[in-house]
Amino acid sequence: MRLKSSVARILPLLAIAPIACDAQIREPRLPPPSIVEYQPRSTLVVPEHRVPRAKFPAVDFHGHPPNLSSPETVAEVVAAMDRLNLQVMVQARPSSGQRLISQIEGVRAAGHEDRFVFFASLDLRNVGPGSGARIAAQLEEDVRAGAVGIGEIGKGFGLSTRKADGSRLEMDDPELDVVWETAGRLGIPVFVHTGDPPEFFEPLDYENERWLEMAIFPNRRFNDRSRFPAFDDLMAERERMIAKHPNTTWVLAHMGWHTQDLGRLGEIFDRYPNVLGEVGAVLYDLGRQPRFGRDFFEKYQDRILFGKDSFRPDEYPYYWRVFETADEYFDYYRDYHAFWKLYGMDLSDEVLRKLYYGNALRIVPRMPTAGFPGG
Ligand SMILES: [Zn+2]
């Protein structure tokens, strides 16, 4: 594996066609297109089922709508939610103090307090002795003001956030124990994004599945070991944090970045019954393993939450189509995530209901129940 990737790094330098493992592969007689130019049109004709609205009312656990303090913005977001059958959006661009209160008031003023819930932010900058107690006290205040969860805690936590002494803030730093314990006592979930896809931590060579994305976004390259921890080290750190707090509900954003290896995520679910996963921005992986993925969603149906991440209303129907249909070989919405097509997982109604709303209603306190079956 190691040898293979170092060869792949050298090949382009020698201007030899990469992946020449089969002697029958011939050199193109025309100048080959670049990675961005080659856009083959599929000629496959198969049944298509577009799904503009979710089959059941959904909670977007990973909502990143704009700031909701103005009733006009709230009305615009609600109009988009209505078209998609999104019943409740978690404002997972977290806030605290007055910024939190002004959004809760904005939603109420617009008459849509049953369509949004708010998660609190944590100020994790410059952690030092006494920071944990201060952060926990602010959290208690924000929960009194109406917050019903923590997060999304961004990937900076673990990757780059520094302590007051200049060292990297490790996720399992004991100073933060009181914060996670407070979340457990208050019964609110902690929604945490750790790291990024494992390929972002690997050499940027021609075997890297995310070559294009890493080439477009230099700030998504975490493969410099002098600056960033290795993917597995970061995951181990996250696991030590979780292991210390069995009474706290943890939600791993982006399924913990383990969708390319669901078995690994299953082991985490098996070890920690207080851990759930959220599916935002990893549809490209779920849609390329529709059968294994469906088995996984069936087995762990109480542990997976729907979430979208970036708020682009036209992208949600791709999720509905992957989850609800058995369609084959259809396009994904973002080419730099995936060079491949998607397939429908054809999830059962029972699994869909839990994925879309059942699990969110169970783990988030004070969730509005209006608009959901039986609500
Ligand atoms: Zn997010």
Distance from residue 199's CA to the centre of ligand 1 (Å): 19
Quote the CA–CA distance of 124 and 17 in Å, as a whole number.
48
Distance from residue 114's CA to the centre of ligand 1 (Å): 22
Q: What does the pLDDT read at residue 13?
A: 47
Quote the CA–CA distance of 109 and 363 in Å, as a whole number.
27
Distance from residue 152's CA to the centre of ligand 1 (Å): 6
Distance from residue 46's CA to the centre of ligand 1 (Å): 34
Quote the CA–CA distance of 259 and 282 in Å, as a whole number.
7
Distance from residue 133's CA to the centre of ligand 1 (Å): 26
Cβ atoms 327, 345 nearer than 8 A: no
Q: What is the pLDDT along the chain (375 residues), one digit of tens a residue?
A: 344 444 445 444 444 445 555 556 789 999 999 999 998 899 999 999 999 999 999 999 999 999 999 999 999 999 999 999 999 999 999 999 999 999 999 999 999 999 999 999 999 999 999 999 999 999 999 999 999 999 999 999 999 999 999 999 999 999 999 999 999 999 999 999 999 999 999 999 999 999 999 999 999 999 999 999 999 999 999 999 999 999 999 999 999 999 999 999 999 999 999 999 999 999 999 999 999 999 999 999 999 999 999 999 999 999 999 999 999 999 998 888 888 999 999 999 999 999 999 999 999 999 999 999 987
Cβ atoms 114, 107 nearer than 8 A: no
Amino acid making up residue 204: L
Provide the token pair at 359. 């699990």
- Cα distances from 362 to residues 56, 116, 187, 247, in angstroms, run 16, 16, 11, 15
Q: What does the pLDDT read at residue 22?
A: 57
Distance from residue 350's CA to the centre of ligand 1 (Å): 27
Amino acid making up residue 374: G
pTM of the model: 0.93
Q: What does the pLDDT read at residue 336?
A: 85
Distance from residue 19's CA to the centre of ligand 1 (Å): 36
Distance from residue 308's CA to the centre of ligand 1 (Å): 8
Distance from residue 198's CA to the centre of ligand 1 (Å): 17
Distance from residue 178's CA to the centre of ligand 1 (Å): 24
